[in-house]
Amino acid sequence: PGPPISKICCIGAGYVGGPTMSVIALKCPEVQVTIVDVSKERISQWNSDKLPIYEPGLEEIVKKCRGKNLFFSTDAKKAIQEAEIIFISVNTPTKTSGNGKGRAADLKHVEGCARLIAGIATSCKIVVEKSTVPVKAAESIMQVLKANNKQGVRYSILSNPEFLAEGTAIENLINPDRVLIGGEETPEGQKAIETLCWIYNKWIPKEKILTTNTWSSELSKLAANAMLAQRISSINSLSAVCEATGADVSEVGRAIGLDSRIGSKFLQASVGFGGSCFQKDLLNLVYICEKLNLPEVAQYWQKVIDMNEYQKTRFSQKIIECLFNTVSEKRLTIFGFAFKKNTGDTRETPAITVCKNLLDEGAKLNIYDPKVEKSQIIADLTSTRVTDNPEEVKKSIEIFTDPYDAVVGTHAIVICTEWDEFIEMDYDRIYKLMIKPAYLFDGRKIVNHEELQNVGFHVITIGKKLNRPGLMRSVGSISQQ
Ligand code: UDX
Ligand code: UDX
Ligand code: ADP
């Protein structure tokens, strides 16, 4: 028999849909993959030389498959009608108004997709929810689809959450820790699971493909992100203890990570976690627990978010304190704006909070990031979440494309993203271009602190008190070398 499916459609050409479908197209040359999006601009970017998102390895795959078995289109109708499997990977932002405002995930796009499919489909479809959605979202999709059912059309809904991390998306997709597929425990549901397994099994061994019931799968996605975020908040909470006592959080992290029950990954103390997923999924989990009348559980996970806010603010406060308790009219350099290295994504980036806190204190900022577009930084820092005076902010920030230009005449460098290039820079040259005393605040613990101190910098980092007479934090008095 031929392949169980010949055509796939994916609704949503974003960070999740784009890379995931590109890899499926690469690994399943006999399957035609079409990604559709409401945004004409997005689709034309995917069809151009400059893709809308940056991911190492993505461009090569898109160039290889595009026009052969990978297509980007705005014609959702045709793609949905033809496909046997439809992935929904539209965005599910936190609600900004109404019930669950600021916490619950907004499912309007997901619901929109379900209605779209119901209106178009004339044959049986497997609908796969790929977006991060709250537990029982599959049920809602099913309700919409069933209520609009046509003769002879049947739907199977699967939950197939994405675990890819930005910056390593292609690597994660090609060689995942596991693939999770949740479906109904009926013969039809099991058959749908098998069909989706067939796709992944093209390049992923069976042992790594985990099948569960729908709700377990949906909850696992939230749980995985909540536990990862919790690890960062845990190590960040300890970083405060380290700074107050003289322990070094890197040493503590290494020591506890060697316990195989704990494990060594994801214990890097930082200025705080960012990204589109962690906070959103935590908020979502908190909201669900409250709805389920589990207030103690809700409070427990809320604390993970609170600790992250505390860490971002604590770091900003430290910068201000070290600069003699005032940054008013002082120009500071921000190195890195993306929420982590190797991505141009700024969603929930800790850099926004740090910049906001410094701007609130009257600082002027020179901002440099190797991948984030100037317009994005301006949009982020002038949004209503950050300021009610966007014009004032625009006057206070300047965006640079050369890091050495960005440091000229500034009092301090603040590292907010762990880009590799910040490790290798010519700090002798940078030091000479800055106002003295020159400060460097390492929010990612990536640069060589001792070397920088030898250059002349006052270095302040996270989770470690850098003891050096004359170079230590000095509040209220200027300590020259
Ligand atoms: C995350 C999950 O890793 C991924 O599995 C899920 O599908 C989506 O959410 P992502 O947000 O892309 O992926 O990046 P991730 O590498 O998890 O980093 C999230 C944030 O935590 C970043 O701001 C990162 O800098 C920070 N982080 C990570 C730390 O501060 N310390 C660490 O040890 C690890
Ligand atoms: C613990 C640490 O494991 C050990 O490294 C340290 O030196 C002393 O404290 P112990 O208290 O002897 O050792 O037992 P442990 O196996 O860690 O279990 C502690 C409790 O956690 C037990 O009540 C155990 O039943 C419970 N537990 C453990 C769980 O409920 N779930 C688990 O997954 C693991
Ligand atoms: P994610 O990180 O979850 O992939 P993105 O915002 O990067 O989120 O991508 C989601 C994409 O889904 C966007 O390009 C958006 O235009 C698209 N989208 C949202 N709703 C619909 C819809 N009803 N039909 C088609 N595309 C949609």
All structural domains of the chain, each given as residue ranges with its CATH number in brackets, are 7-204 (3.40.50.720), 248-481 (3.40.50.720)
Tell whether the model's pLDDT for residue 471 goes beyond 50. Answer: no
Report how far residue 465's alpha carbon sits from residue 54's, in angstroms, rounded to the nearest whole number.
36
| 280 or 479, which is more confident | 280
38 touches ligand 3 (CB under 6 Å): yes
Does the annotation place 92 within a ligand binding site?
A: yes
User: Which phi and psi (to 5°) does residue 365 adopt?
Assistant: -125, 130
Report which DSSP code applies to 105.
Answer: B
**Helix (H), strand (E) at residue 115:** helix 108-120
Which pLDDT belongs to residue 479? 42
Does the annotation place 13 within a ligand binding site?
A: yes
Report how far residue 362's alpha carbon sits from residue 77's, in angstroms, rounded to the nearest whole number.
52
For residue 345, the CA-to-ligand 2 centroid distance in Å is: 40
Pocket test for ligand 1, best of 132, 133, 232, 252 (most atoms within 8 A of CB): 232
343 touches ligand 1 (CB under 6 Å): no
Residue with the two structure tokens 């820790």: 177
Does the annotation place 16 within a ligand binding site?
A: yes
Which H, E and C letters describe 384-444, residue by residue?
Answer: CCCCCCHHHHHHHEEEECCHHHHCCCCCEEEECCCCHHHCCCCHHHHHHHCCCCCEEEECC
Q: Whose CA is nearest to atom 25 of ligand 1?
A: 340
What the block records as the tokens of 13 is 């050409």
Which pLDDT belongs to residue 468? 61
Tell whether the model's pLDDT for residue 313 goes beyond 80. Answer: yes
User: Which phi and psi (to 5°) does residue 157 adopt?
Assistant: -105, 130
Q: Whose CA is nearest to atom 26 of ligand 1?
A: 273
Which ligand 1 atom sits nearest the alpha carbon of residue 274?
Answer: 23
Q: Which ligand is nearest to the CA of 261?
A: 2
What is the CA angle 443-410-352, rounded to 5?
40
Q: What is the ipTM of this complex?
A: 0.92
Q: Quick one: pLDDT band at residue 135, thresholds 50, 70, 90?
A: confident
Q: For the ranges 2-6, 204-208, 475-479, which has the lowest average pLDDT?
A: 475-479
Residues 315-322 have a mean pLDDT of: 97
Pocket test for ligand 3, best of 39, 41, 73, 91 (most atoms within 8 A of CB): 91
pTM of the prediction? Answer: 0.92
Which tens digit of pLDDT belongs to each residue from 2-32? 678 999 999 999 999 999 999 999 999 999 9
349 touches ligand 3 (CB under 6 Å): no
Which tens digit of pLDDT belongs to each residue from 377-431? 999 999 999 999 999 999 999 999 999 999 999 999 999 999 999 999 999 999 9
Tell whether the model's pLDDT for residue 148 goes beyond 60. Answer: yes
109 touches ligand 3 (CB under 6 Å): yes
164 touches ligand 1 (CB under 6 Å): yes
Q: Which ligand is nearest to the CA of 167?
A: 1
347 touches ligand 3 (CB under 6 Å): no
Question: What strand order describes the sheet that includes 331-335?
Answer: 397-400, 364-368, 331-335, 412-415, 439-442, 458-461
Which tens digit of pLDDT belongs to each residue from 221-239? 999 999 999 999 999 999 9
Annotated catalytic residue 277:
yes
Report how far residue 457's alpha carbon sits from residue 435's, in angstroms, rounded to the nearest whole number.
11
Residues 127-133 have a mean pLDDT of: 89
Pocket test for ligand 3, best of 20, 37, 345 (most atoms within 8 A of CB): 37
393 touches ligand 1 (CB under 6 Å): no
Compute the mean pLDDT over every residue in the chain, rounded to the nearest whole number.
Answer: 94
Which pLDDT belongs to residue 68? 98
For residue 256, the CA-to-ligand 2 centroid distance in Å is: 15
275 touches ligand 1 (CB under 6 Å): yes
Which pLDDT belongs to residue 104? 87
Nearest CA among 104, 15, 12, 95 for reference residue 51:
15
Which ligand 1 atom sits nearest the alpha carbon of residue 164?
Answer: 7
Which pLDDT belongs to residue 230? 98
Which ligand 1 atom sits nearest the alpha carbon of residue 340?
Answer: 25
Residues 6+ apart with CB under 8 A from 122: 81, 150, 153
Does the annotation place 280 within a ligand binding site?
A: yes
Tell whether the model's pLDDT for residue 470 goes beyond 80. Answer: no
Distances (CA, A) of 68 to 14, 57, 228: 20, 18, 38
Tell whether the model's pLDDT for residue 476 goes beyond 60. Answer: no
Q: Whose CA is nearest to atom 31 of ligand 1?
A: 268
For residue 42, the CA-to-ligand 3 centroid distance in Å is: 9
Q: Centre a 10 Å sphere on the Cβ of residue 142 and count the other Cβ atoms it contains.
A: 18
Report which DSSP code applies to 44.
Answer: H
Q: Whose CA is nearest to atom 26 of ligand 3?
A: 37
Which pLDDT belongs to residue 153? 92
Q: Whose CA is nearest to atom 28 of ligand 1?
A: 266
166 touches ligand 1 (CB under 6 Å): yes
Report how far residue 305's alpha carbon sits from residue 192's, in angstroms, rounded to the nearest whole number.
37
Which tens digit of pLDDT belongs to each residue from 163-188? 999 999 999 999 999 999 999 999 99
Question: What strand order describes the sheet that includes 32-36?
Answer: 70-73, 32-36, 7-11, 85-88, 125-129, 155-159, 179-183, 209-213
11 touches ligand 3 (CB under 6 Å): yes
Please identify which of the residues 277, 289, 322, 355 carries the catalytic annotation.
Answer: 277
Which ligand 3 atom sits nearest the alpha carbon of residue 92?
Answer: 3
Which ligand 1 atom sits nearest the alpha carbon of residue 271?
Answer: 30
14 touches ligand 3 (CB under 6 Å): yes
Which pLDDT belongs to residue 186? 95
